[in-house]
C-alpha cells in the first residue's frame, strides 16, 4: 500500500499551517532511532516526533519523567540523520524547561544545535508562558501540548481522559488560544473528548494534532511501537494497531533459535 503523500518536498512549520488552511490532514508518528525513522520518513509521514515517550518504549521506564536532555538529543540526532522530508519535532524532557525560562532556552538551543531537530515541543499552557516566549524569541519553533500531559502524571494520578468537566475544558481552550497568540506553530491535544478537540481546532488557525482526541482535529499522532503492535500490554480505545509485530517478531526469533539449535542456520548458501 502506498501512502497519500502531501505535495511537499520538505515539510516545514509553514507547510503544516498551509495544510490546515487547505483542509489537508497532517500525519505524525513518533520515532527514536535511525532505522525506524528511515522507514517512517520514506513512507511519507509529515511530522516525526522524537517524543519523550522514548522514556517508556526505548528505556523501559514507567513514566516519561526520567529521560534526560542528553538522551533526547541522542535519539533526536539519530532520527534527524534519517529524515529527508519530514519535519522533526523534539520533546523537551521533564525538568529541562519548567524551572526558569533561561534554562528552557538553553535546553531548546542544545536540542536544535546538537541534534539538528527542526522544532521543540513543550507540555503546558500559561504556566510555562515565559519559557515558551523566550524560546520563540530565539527563533525556535514551538509545538504546544495540552490535555493529558504525561510529564504531570503524578499531579493527575491517572492516564484517564482529561477536560471532561467544564472548568478544565474552559482552561484548555484558554491555554490553546494563549499558545496560538504566543506564536506556537501547532498544538498536540492528548486524550480529551472529541467534541472539545473539534471546538479547539475550529477556533485556532494553527494546526491541532490529536492523540485520543477524535477526528475533528487537523492531524493525528500515534506512538510508533504502539501502532505497529510491538507493545501489547495496554489497549486504550484511541489506539489502532496496524500490525501485530510483537507476535510476528517473537515467531521470527523463536524460529531463529530453533534453526541455530538444529544447525539449520546457516545452510550451505549462507556461508563462505
Ligand atoms: O512523547 C510522545 O510520544 C508524545 C505523544 C504521545 C504526543 O508526546
How far is the C-alpha of 31 from the C-alpha of 50, rounded, in Å? Answer: 6
* pLDDT value at 188 more than 90: yes
| Residue 236: strand, helix, or coil | coil
How far is the C-alpha of 51 from the C-alpha of 29, rounded, in Å? Answer: 9
User: For residue 218, what pLDDT band results from cuts at 50, 70 and 90?
Assistant: very high
Which residues are CB-neighbours of 266 under 8 A, at least 6 positions away?
none
Atom of ligand 1 nearest to the CA of 121: 8
| Residue 219: strand, helix, or coil | strand
Grid cell listed for 245: 509485530
Query: Separation of 8 CA from ligand 1 center, angstroms?
Result: 24
Task: Write down the pLDDT at residue 49.
Answer: 99
Domain boundaries, the chain: 13-241, 243-272
| Element (DSSP H or E) covering residue 202 | helix 194-203
Q: Find out whether the beta carbon of 223 lies less than 6 Å from any atom of ligand 1.
A: yes
Q: Find out whether the beta carbon of 186 lies less than 6 Å from any atom of ligand 1.
A: no
User: For residue 1, what pLDDT band results from cuts at 50, 70 and 90?
Assistant: low
Task: Write down the pLDDT at residue 90.
Answer: 99
| Element (DSSP H or E) covering residue 79 | helix 69-82
* pLDDT value at 24 more than 90: yes
Q: Which residue has the cell 500559561?
A: 126
| For residues 259-265, average pLDDT | 98
Q: What is the pLDDT of residues 230-248, one digit of tens each?
A: 999 999 999 999 999 999 9
| Residue 215: strand, helix, or coil | coil
Q: Please, what is the angle between helix 129-137 and helix 101-115, to 10°?
A: 40
Q: Find out whether the beta carbon of 221 lies less than 6 Å from any atom of ligand 1.
A: yes
Q: How many CB atoms lie within 10 A of CB 101?
A: 17
Q: What is the pLDDT of residues 97-106, one digit of tens each?
A: 999 999 999 9
Grid cell listed for 127: 504556566
Q: How many CA atoms lie within 13 A of 90 on its CB side?
A: 34
Task: Write down the pLDDT at residue 5.
Answer: 65
User: Which of 91, 92, 119, 238, when mutated, tests ligand 1's pocket best, judged by the most ligand atoms within 8 Å of its CB?
Assistant: 91
190 a catalytic residue:
yes
Q: Find out whether the beta carbon of 175 lies less than 6 Å from any atom of ligand 1.
A: no
| Residue 134: strand, helix, or coil | helix
For residue 209, list its beta bridge partners: 188, 219
Task: Write down the pLDDT at residue 62.
Answer: 96
DSSP notation for 165-199: SHHHHHHHHHHHHHHHHHT-SEEEEES--HHHHHH
User: For residue 2, what pLDDT band results from cuts at 50, 70 and 90?
Assistant: low
Q: Please, what is the angle between helix 69-82 and helix 101-115, to 10°?
A: 40
How far is the C-alpha of 88 from the C-alpha of 13, rounded, in Å? Answer: 10
Q: Can you identify the CATH homologous superfamily of domain 13-241?
A: Phosphoenolpyruvate-binding domains (3.20.20.60)
User: For residue 7, what pLDDT band results from cuts at 50, 70 and 90?
Assistant: confident
Q: Whose CA is nearest to atom 1 of ligand 1?
A: 51
Q: Tell me which DSSP letter residue 2 carries.
A: -
Q: What is the pLDDT of residues 124-138, one digit of tens each?
A: 999 999 999 999 999
Q: Whose CA is nearest to atom 2 of ligand 1?
A: 51
Q: Whose CA is nearest to atom 4 of ligand 1?
A: 51
Q: Find out whether the beta carbon of 51 lies less than 6 Å from any atom of ligand 1.
A: yes
Atom of ligand 1 nearest to the CA of 188: 7
* pLDDT value at 6 more than 90: no
Interior angle at CA 80, CA 74 and CA 186, nearest 5: 105
How far is the C-alpha of 224 from the C-alpha of 212, rounded, in Å? Answer: 15
Amino acid at each position: 500500500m502506498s501512502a497519500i503523500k502531501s505535495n511537499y518536498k520538505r515539510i516545514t512549520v509553514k507547510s503544516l499551517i498551509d495544510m490546515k488552511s487547505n483542509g489537508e490532514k497532517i500525519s505524525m508518528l513518533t520515532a527514536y532511532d535511525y532505522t525506524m525513522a528511515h522507514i517512517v520518513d520514506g513512507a511519507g509521514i509529515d511530522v516525526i516526533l522524537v517524543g519523550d515517550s522514548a522514556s517508556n518504549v526505548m528505556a523501559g521506564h514507567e513514566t516519561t519523567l526520567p529521560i534526560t536532555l542528553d538522551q533526547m538529543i541522542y535519539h533526536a540526532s539519530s532520527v534527524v540523520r534519517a529524515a529527508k522530508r519530514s519535519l522533526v519535532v523534539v520533546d523537551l524532557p521533564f525538568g529541562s524547561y519548567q524551572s526558569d525560562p533561561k534554562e528552557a532556552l538553553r535546553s531548546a538551543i542544545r536540542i536544535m544545535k546538537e541534534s539538528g531537530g527542526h522544532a521543540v515541543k513543550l507540555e503546558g499552557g500559561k504556566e510555562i508562558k515565559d519559557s515558551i516566549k523566550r524560546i520563540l524569541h530565539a527563533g525556535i519553533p514551538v509545538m504546544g501540548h495540552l490535555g493529558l500531559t504525561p510529564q504531570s502524571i503524578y499531579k493527575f494520578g491517572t492516564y484517564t481522559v482529561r477536560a471532561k468537566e467544564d472548568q478544565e475544558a474552559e482552561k484548555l481552550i484558554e491555554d490553546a488560544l494563549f499558545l496560538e497568540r504566543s506564536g506556537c506553530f501547532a498544538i498536540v491535544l492528548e486524550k480529551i473528548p472529541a467534541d472539545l478537540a473539534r471546538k479547539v481546532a475550529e477556533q485556532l488557525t494553527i494546526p491541532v494534532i490529536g492523540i485520543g482526541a477524535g477526528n475533528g482535529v487537523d492531524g493525528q499522532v500515534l506512538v510508533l511501537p504502539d501502532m505497529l503492535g510491538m507493545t501489547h500490554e495496554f489497549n486504550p480505545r484511541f489506539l489502532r494497531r496496524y500490525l501485530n509485530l510483537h507476535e510476528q517478531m517473537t515467531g521470527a526469533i523463536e524460529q531463529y533459535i530453533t534453526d541455530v539449535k538444529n544447525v539449520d542456520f546457516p545452510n550451505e548458501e549462507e556461508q563462505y
